[in-house]
Structure 1
Amino acid sequence: MPPQYPPIGESDRHPGARRALFGQLIGLGALGLGACAQRGAPLPQAGAVATPDALPDSIAPFSSATPGARPPAGWQPYVLRKDKPPTRYNVVRDNDRMVLHARAEAGATGLRCPVRIDPHQHSRLQFSWRVQQVPSLASVDVPEHDDAPARIILAFDGDPARLSLRDRLIFDQVELFTGQRLPFATLMYVWCAKLPPESVVRNHRSSRIHYLTVESGAQRAGRWLHYERDVVADYRRVYGEAPGMISSVGVLTDSDALKHEQQAWYGDIVLRRPGRT
């Protein structure tokens, strides 16, 4: 059974809980915030925002970045909680290629790459990662243990009028207190310690954020692992409909729930046309 939603007004009576809620929703649901660009809201720590038509139609590669770049060109930091230590990201050499290294020490900062990509034209998502360890308690289906050594996050556009009343209220509250508008839908590919591969979990606060487990347990920690996903098929499975435009791609290595150190390495993230390699 999915986690039950707490009363929507509960966070209003507890300012600390409210900050935590908005930090989690903004961070997990909006590591690109393409919807913010469309609505004209400022992106935190990112300077000027390009209009949707000016956004790139490909994901900035780590492999061509300068060693030590922090963040790499085309990527922007996204601070989930200012009261938490930041996850540190920088480009490092791994054998013969450049990759992104993430180190979290009780932190939860993400990186995002704003884009405008049609998933129906570029439906094949390819990515790779390596993690140092997988904490045994970390599990995205338990809010108190919601850490993941590695996450790839896709944000999608859509018609806000189609949101449920509950989600419209949550979206409005987040925008009121943060100035940021959550994406219409978010699909997050995660490495989870407990859930089996292909498990789908809804975020305990919003039905517009879903986790899809692609790696489980610690058996394959320490190795480079490569994945290819059909984004349209995954989105249809999770949301029961066709996806809108992809407005951002993000990465997140977090350890703020369990307060441990976590390291991960990410290779290039690519969205390709079907049939291309």
Structure 2
Amino acid sequence: MKSVAAVDRRQWLARSLGLCALAGLGACATRSPEGETASPAVDGMGHPAAPATEIQTFSGAAPGQLPTGWFPYVLRRDLPRTRYALAREGSRVALHAQARRSATGLHCALDIDPAQRRTLGFSWKVPHVHDQADVSAAELDDCPARLIVAFDGDHARLSLRDRLLFDQVELFTGQRLPFAMLMYVWDGGRHAVESVHRNHRTARIQYLTVESGGARTGQWLHYQRDLAADYRRVYGEAPGKVIGVGVLTDGDALKTDHDAWYGDITLA
């Protein structure tokens, strides 16, 4: 039985990172709906499933289930879970996220070279944005929609501060943070589109604002990003392999509710 101090430490660490709900973007481990650790994804022979080289679409899957290769990820068991389900939205099948003061993500493990496939395409629709949400402040860091890309890299190049933080995350969560994460976010309106903000605990997690405020709520918005160029702009170097993508709709910081619809995500 875990001590109270150990549980408090785990919760503090999760709050400090803010986005550890997707710390395992590059991992194959999954979580059961009850939040317990589940077995890693396996192939038909019972061997660990290899990361995918294509992102399974939402539009090609049946409503009511998740597409192959996409798994929920729950880190903080003390919070309610964001619910994700495929459903019809108008004429399309999309991923519906419902956050009720929650911060659960959905992720897909990948093995893709962004030098060869650098055009990231995605779309989303958000009915409402809370104007207090602010990705630059840990206590206000909620977003109705985030598209997250995880990258591999040489962990020996991390600063001492980051190595210690990565070790803490692994020790208290069982998950290893990716070398770098780039998050395309919808901010509450305090930051300009194309502005970049680092996570308050580590520079290995960076937020790139692609929407801000409520002017374009209630409509499908489509994006095409040069992923390699965005990474180079934010991190000052060429990216390593893409080892995962994920989505996250959260409202745990401000104790608010968010809804979002996500369309297909592509790397071409």
Do the two structures share a fold, i.e. TM-score over 0.5? yes
CA distance in 1, matches of 2:236, 2:204: 12
| Matched AA of 1:258 | L
Q: Which residue of 2 aligns with 1:214?
A: 210
Once the 2 structures are TM-superposed, how far is the Cα of residue 82 of structure 1 from its aligned partner?
Answer: 0.7
Please say if 1:54 is aligned against 2:50: yes
Please say if 1:253 is aligned against 2:249: yes
Once the 2 structures are TM-superposed, how far is the Cα of residue 134 of structure 1 from its aligned partner?
Answer: 0.4
Q: String of CA shifts for 1:172-194, please: whole Å, max 9, x gaps.
A: 11111111110000000000012
Once the 2 structures are TM-superposed, how far is the Cα of residue 210 of structure 1 from its aligned partner?
Answer: 0.3
Once the 2 structures are TM-superposed, how far is the Cα of residue 22 of structure 1 from its aligned partner?
Answer: 2.9
CA distance in 2, matches of 1:189, 1:202: 12
Unmatched segments (≥5 aa) in structure 2: 33-37
Shifted more, 21-30 versus 174-183: the winner is: 21-30
Report the TM-score, using the length of structure 2 for normalisation: 0.89
Q: 1:263 aligns with which of 243, 256, 259?
A: 259
CA RMSD of aligned residues (A): 2.1
Q: Which residue of 1 aligns with 2:13?
A: 21
Contact 1:29/1:183 (<8 A) preserved: no
Contact 1:26/1:182 (<8 A) preserved: no
| Matched AA of 2:60 | S
CA distance in 2, matches of 1:82, 1:113: 21
Contact 2:31/2:71 (<8 A) preserved: no
How many residues are matched? 254
CA distance in 1, matches of 2:6, 2:81: 24
| Matched AA of 2:69 | G
Alignment of 1:154-233 (within 5 A): 154-193=149-188, 194-233=190-229
Once the 2 structures are TM-superposed, how far is the Cα of residue 15 of structure 1 from its aligned partner?
Answer: 5.8
Unmatched segments (≥5 aa) in structure 1: 1-12, 273-277
CA distance in 1, matches of 2:136, 2:228: 23
Q: String of CA shifts for 1:219-250, please: whole Å, max 9, x gaps.
A: 10111000010000000011000000000000
Alignment of 1:34-45 (within 5 A): 34=26, 36=27, 42-45=29-32
Once the 2 structures are TM-superposed, how far is the Cα of residue 25 of structure 1 from its aligned partner?
Answer: 3.5
Once the 2 structures are TM-superposed, how far is the Cα of residue 60 of structure 1 from its aligned partner?
Answer: 1.0
| Matched AA of 2:57 | P
| Matched AA of 1:144 | E
Contact 2:21/2:73 (<8 A) preserved: no
Secondary structure in structure 2 of the residue aligned to 1:229: strand
Q: Percent identity?
A: 57
